Amino acid sequence: MKALMDRIFGENRPPVEMIRFESLNEVPPYERLEKKEAEIVKGMRNIWYEYVPSCYDGSREVPLVVQIHGGGQDGLRWASYTVWHEIAERNNMIVIYPNSIKAGRWDCNEEEIKYLYDLISHMCTVYKIDKTRIYMQGMSNGDMMTLAFTMRHPQVLAAAGYTSGPSSEEGIDGDRPVGALPIIQERGELDINYMLSKDVEDVYEKRYHMNDINRELWENVNGTAKVLPSVTIRGKDNFLIWNGTKAPIINWEIKDMGHREPVYAAQIYWDCLYSGCRMVNGEHLFENPVQTLKGDDDLYLIALGSNKAYHKNKIMRISSFDQGIVRMMVPSPERHFAPLKLNEMAQTEAMYAPVEILNSLFGAEVKSDRAGTLVMVTLPDQRIVTLRKDSLLIDIDGKYTAMQKPCILYFGCFYIPVEEFMRMVLKKQVSIAHDVMCISDHYALVGKYTARIICKLIGGVMRPHEQVEWE
C-alpha cells in the first residue's frame, strides 16, 4: 500500500496514515480464551474455544452464550472480531466459539444441529451452567446455522440473535419454528448484494423479501402477527420491537452498513435482549433487561402517498383531506428574485404535506382565510407563522424569511414543503429513506428496510429503488 501511495502522489503524498482493516474492529485482549477438543460428533475430534470469566469458581450457576462463526472462519477467528468475551467477563458468564464440522462453513443440516445440541449438553456437564439462561448468536453463515438450530430447539435457549445472514426461502425449505423464542435480527441497510445473482431485477426487493421471510417465521409462534411495533432510532441504529404475547421480536437495522457485524453488537444483544431473557419450565420470560427498548416519544414517521403518520405505536391521520404526502417539483415563479436559489427550486423535488400536519402531530393551531390561500399557524411555543400560497415568504412573529420551495394549494388543500419547514421553523431533525420521512428532536437516520415496514403499516407508496451497480 505504501508503494502504491508513493507512485500516485510522489513527493506530494498527503500526511495520512493507512489503517489496517483488521484494526477497525480491534477488540480487547482475550488471553483467557482456551482451545478445547472432545468427541462431540461420533468419530470426530471437535474443536471449540471457551472463555471462562476470572470470577467463575463453580459455586453458582452462570449463563452460557454460544457464538456461531460465519463462512470462511472458525471459532478462534470469530473470537477476534467480537467483544463477547469482554461481556462475559463483566457479567460472569461463559461464552464458547465452536468450529463447524466442515472446515470454514456450516451446512445447517441435522448433523450440525445435533452437534450444537450435544456441545451445549457437554458444557452443562463440565461447568455449572444456568440452563434457564443459554443464548446463541451467529453471523452470516453462522446466522443461518443459528436459525436452523433455533427453529428445531427453541426450548434449549432463552433467546437468540441473528446477524447479517437471512436464510433464503430455499434454505428454510418450508421449516417453521416449533416454539416461541425471544429473538433479535440485525441487518445492515446496504447488505443487499451478498449471495444474490446479478440476474435479479431488483436486488433491494429480493433482499427485503428475505428479511421479511425470516422475521415472519416467528410471528405466529411469538404472537406478534397483530402487534404494532415500537420504533426507536438512535443515530444509525433503527430498532423495531414487536412485543408478542409469547416472546418479543426485535428488528435492528443499521443505516449505511453492509454485510458485517458492528463492533458493539454484543453489547446491544446483551443489554437489550439476553439480559432480560430466561426460559423457565418451557416458558420464555422477558423482563427487566439492562436496557429497555421502547418507542421514541419524539419520533414521527410519514410516507409518500399516505394520509397517516406513525407515532408511539399508533397510526394517526394527519389531515381531514384525503390527499396525503405528495412529492412535487415546483418551477420558479418569475416574480421571485435573488438571492433565492432559483435553479435548485426548479430542478429538485420536495415532499409536501398538508398544513394540518402541524396540528395533528405537534398541536399547533392552524387557521386560514376564506380562499384558503393564506394560513396562520400558532405553534405550541406561541410563535405565529404566516404562510402564503405560491410564495416562498414566511412571516414568523413579524419577521420575514424564506424557504427554497413555495407553499402550494393542491386540490383545495394547503401544502407546505414539509422537510424544510420541519428543519427551518420547528428545528426538527429530518431523515428520508424510500420516501419515508423520519421527524424527531434527536439525531435519527431512518433505514430503508425500516422505511419499507413503516410504509406498509401506514399505506404509503415506495418509488422504484435506485440502481445497484455490481462490481
Model confidence pLDDT, tens digit, residues 56-85: 999 999 999 999 999 999 999 999 889 999
Q: Is a pLDDT exceeding 70 seen at residue 330?
A: no
Contact (Cβ atoms closer than 8 angstroms) between residue 321 and residue 354: yes
pLDDT at 119: 98
**Percent of the chain at pLDDT above 70?**
87
**Percent of the chain at pLDDT above 90?**
74
Give the SS3 label for residue 411. coil
Model confidence pLDDT, tens digit, residues 337-386: 445 555 555 557 899 999 999 999 999 999 999 888 999 999 999 999 99
pLDDT-derived band of residue 470, with 50, 70 and 90 as boundaries?
Answer: very low
Q: What is the mean pLDDT of residues 444-467?
A: 88
Instruction: Report strand pairing: 326-328 vs 350-354.
Output: antiparallel
462 or 467, which is more confident? 462
- What are the chain's domains? 28-286 (3.40.50.1820), 300-458 (3.30.457.10)
pLDDT at 31: 81
Give the CA distances from residue 220 to residues 137, 165, 177, 217, 226, in Å, rounded to whole numbers and listed in that order: 22, 22, 9, 7, 9
Q: What is the mean pLDDT of residues 121-129?
A: 98
pLDDT-derived band of residue 7, with 50, 70 and 90 as boundaries?
Answer: low
428 or 258, which is more confident? 428
Q: What is the distance between the alpha carbons of residues 192 and 432, in angstroms, rounded to a whole number?
A: 19
pLDDT-derived band of residue 277, with 50, 70 and 90 as boundaries?
Answer: very high
464-470, long-range: CB < 8 A, 24+ apart: 464/202, 465/202, 465/204, 465/205, 465/434, 468/192, 468/193, 468/203, 468/204, 470/193, 470/198
Residues 6+ apart with CB under 8 A from 386: 374, 375, 376, 377, 394, 395, 396
Residue 205: CA count within 13 A, CB half-sphere: 9
The set of cell numbers assigned to 283 is 416458558
194 or 250, which is more confident? 250
Q: What is the mean pLDDT of residues 411-436?
A: 95
pLDDT at 174: 85
Q: Is a pLDDT exceeding 50 seen at residue 438?
A: yes
Q: Where are the beta strands (DSSP E) in 379-453?
A: 384-388, 393-396, 399-402, 408-410, 413-417, 429-433, 436-440
pLDDT at 127: 98
Model confidence pLDDT, tens digit, residues 185-208: 999 998 876 566 666 667 778 888
The set of cell numbers assigned to 426 is 420547528
The chain-wide mean pLDDT, for the chain, equals 89
List residues bridging with 407 in a β-sheet. Answer: 389
Q: What is the mean pLDDT of residues 440-445?
A: 98
SS (H, E, C) 260-321: CCCCCHHHHHHHHCHHHEEEECCEEEECCCCCCCCCCCCCEEEEECCCEEEECCEEEECCCC
Q: What is the distance between the alpha carbons of residues 370 and 102, in angstroms, rounded to a whole number?
A: 76
Q: What is the distance between the alpha carbons of residues 204 and 448, in angstroms, rounded to a whole number?
A: 9
Q: What is the distance between the alpha carbons of residues 392 and 84, in angstroms, rounded to a whole number?
A: 54
Phi and psi of 264, rounded to 5°? -100, 10
Contact (Cβ atoms closer than 8 angstroms) between residue 430 and residue 445: no
pLDDT at 2: 57
Contact (Cβ atoms closer than 8 angstroms) between residue 49 and residue 34: yes
Whether omega for the bond prior to residue 53 falls within 30 degrees of 0, making it cis, is no
Q: What is the distance between the alpha carbons of residues 427 and 450, in angstroms, rounded to a whole number?
A: 24
The DSSP code for 249 is E
pLDDT-derived band of residue 173, with 50, 70 and 90 as boundaries?
Answer: confident
Q: Is a pLDDT exceeding 80 seen at residue 334?
A: no
Determine the residue type at 61.
E
pLDDT at 335: 47
Short-list 271, 232, 235, CA closest to 256? 235
45: left (phi > 0), else alpha (psi -120 to 50), else beta? Answer: beta
Give the SS3 label for residue 386. strand
The reply to whether the predicted model has a pTM over 0.85 is: yes
pLDDT at 336: 47
Q: Is a pLDDT exceeding 90 seen at residue 29?
A: no
| CB burial of residue 176 (10 Å; 0-12, 13-18, 19+) | exposed
Give the CA distances from residue 400 to residues 364, 384, 385, 428, in Å, rounded to whole numbers and listed in that order: 20, 12, 10, 20
Contact (Cβ atoms closer than 8 angstroms) between residue 102 and residue 173: no
